Amino acid sequence: MKILIEAVNFNIDKGLKAYIEKKINNLERFYDRIIEVEVYLKVQKTSDKENKISEIRVFIPGEDVVVKKTAKTFEEGVSVAVDSLKRSLKKVKEKQRSH
C-alpha cells in the first residue's frame, strides 16, 4: 500500500507524518486490497478554532472511499477520519462478500 501525505501551505513535521502513517497502516486490517491512500492536510483561514481539515482518499479496486473531517488538531481530524474509513471499508467488504 502506497501512502501519499500532502500538506497544503505548511510544512508537516516528522511526528505528525509518523502518526498518520501508523493510523493509515491499521486500515489494512479492515480491508486488505487497498492500493493507495492520499492524505491532504489543510489549514482553513478562519477565526474558528476548528480550522484543520484532514481529507483522506482510499483507492480500492472498483471505487474510492473519501472522508473529510475538520477538527482543532490534525491528529484529531485524522483519527476521526480513519475511524470513519474503517466503517466504510467494512461496508465495502461486506457488500463484496454478498455478491
DSSP per-residue codes, 11-50: PPPHHHHHHHHHHHHGGGGT-TT--EEEEEEEE--SSSS-
Cα(57)–Cα(60) distance, rounded to whole angstroms? 10
Confidence of residue 44 (pLDDT cuts 50, 70, 90): confident
**Domain ranges within the chain, ordered by starting residue:** 2-98
Is 90 exceeded by the pLDDT of residue 79? yes
Count other Cβ atoms within 10 Å, centred on residue 92.
19
User: What is the per-residue pLDDT for 66?
Assistant: 96
User: What is the per-residue pLDDT for 97?
Assistant: 82
Q: Could you say which architecture CATH assigns to the domain 2-98?
A: 2-Layer Sandwich (3.30)
- Chain mean pLDDT for the chain: 92
Is 90 exceeded by the pLDDT of residue 95? no
Question: What pTM did the predictor assign?
Answer: 0.92
